[in-house]
Structures are given as C-alpha cells and as structure tokens.
Amino acid sequence: MSSQNESLESIKNDIIRCVLCGLSLTRKNAVPGNGNISKKIIVIGEAPGKNEDETGSPFVGSAGKILDQALINARIERKEIYITNVVKCRPPSNRVPTDEEIGICTREYLKKEIDIISPKIICILGATALKSLLGLKHMTPYRGQIVNRPPLRYFITYHPAATIYNNKLKEIFFEDIQKLAKIVNTQDQGIDKFFPT
C-alpha cells in the first residue's frame, strides 16, 4: 500500500470514529471518501443522504445515480475518480450543513484528503462545496467554468440532487460533466497548457 493510500486510510478511520460535532449522534455511518487517486481527480459534494448514511459510501442514492449516468455519458469511469463530500455525516432530515459542521469537516478531513491526493482538478458539486472550498456564495457566475487557485484548479457545477426534479438543470449538469471529461482528457497533453496559472 502506498503512503498516499495509507494516509487516506488513516483519515477514513478518523472519520468513522469522529465525534467532533453533533452529527455523530444522529448518523448511522460516517461516510468517508473513496475511489481512485491515481488520476488525481476529486469530485466533492455537500453531505451524505439517507442511502449514504445506511451504506457508509458516498453518492449511492438518487443523486449518485444521476452522477453515475452523467459520468457514463461522458465516458468517465467512476472507479477512476475519488468521490467525497464536504461534510462526512448526514445532517438530520437532509438539511443543509451548518457553518460549524462544514468548518470542522473541511479543516479536519477534506483539506487533508486534498493535500494527500494533490489533485490536478477538483470538481465541485453544488453551493455548499463551493462555499467551503472557495468561499464563493453564488454558483451561477462560475458554473461550468474552471477557477484557478494555485496550486489547485476547480471545475464548478450543480449538485446532482438539484437536478432530480429539474430536467433543464439535469441537461446542464450532463453537459458540464462532458466538459469536465474533455478537460480531463487533455491532461495527457499537459494540463498546464490548458489551464495556465
């Protein structure tokens, strides 16, 4: 096992045992990130939902199915990317995580995941991840775009949960993931050529 994988395994164990906020009292399972780190692509959502809380795995419910469809459509294999959430435990009734919950999980876990993986690109899904990672409150000006914050590059799109009952948003989300795939596919040609800092 590589030192990166060992470090992520250590974070995973810390997440599973975490009692740093009140969500630890209401969760069934903490939900650490999982996936492949060799491609250096991280997809980051908001927080686990009911299905994720049951299984302990990210993006396995309705939003996960939409994400999977978008990835398949864009010819990205889920097994090739690392998927995680800003908050690692399900907020009761699927409410939006509080600033305190976001702050604890970002500081204690998410930033460490990012540091270990050292991604070439981070795909931000939704407003909570956008606020947590970039401090930005409004998605519209950035959706479908790359935001450079050296040494990291972020691709911004909707959270797939926002598209469940909105076919127009789902269409845009699928287009965005296709755009992400094109960006990822240019990496072999030298990512810095396409994303100058």
Judge whether residue 135 has pLDDT over 60. Answer: yes
Q: What is the C-alpha separation between 17 and 19, in angstroms, rounded?
A: 7
Q: Which residues pair with 43 in a beta bridge?
A: 83, 123
pLDDT at residue 191, as a whole number? 46
pLDDT (tens digit, 9 = 90+) per residue, 160-173? Answer: 999 999 999 999 99
What are the Cα distances from residue 70, in Å, to 95, 108, 111, 176? 25, 30, 26, 9
Q: Could you tell me the domains of the chain?
A: 3-188 (3.40.470.10)
3-state SS of the chain? CCHHHHHHHHHHHHHHHCCCCCHHHHCCCCCCCEECCCCCEEEEECCCCHHHHHHCCCCCCHHHHHHHHHHHHCCCCHHHCEEEECCCCCCHHHCCCCHHHHHHHHHHHHHHHHHHHCCCEEEEECHHHHHHHHCCCCCCCCCCCEEEECCEEEEEECCHHHHCCCHHHHHHHHHHHHHHHHHHHCHHHCHHHHCCC
What share of the chain in percent tops pLDDT 90? 88
Confidence of residue 194 (pLDDT cuts 50, 70, 90): very low
CB 44 within 8 A of CB 110: yes
pLDDT at residue 4, as a whole number? 86
pLDDT at residue 42, as a whole number? 98
Judge whether residue 188 has pLDDT over 80. Answer: no
Q: Phi/psi class of residue 177: alpha, beta or left (left: φ > 0; alpha: ψ in -120 to 50)?
A: alpha
Confidence of residue 195 (pLDDT cuts 50, 70, 90): very low
pLDDT at residue 152, as a whole number? 95
pLDDT (tens digit, 9 = 90+) per residue, 48-83? Answer: 999 999 999 999 999 999 999 999 999 999 999 999
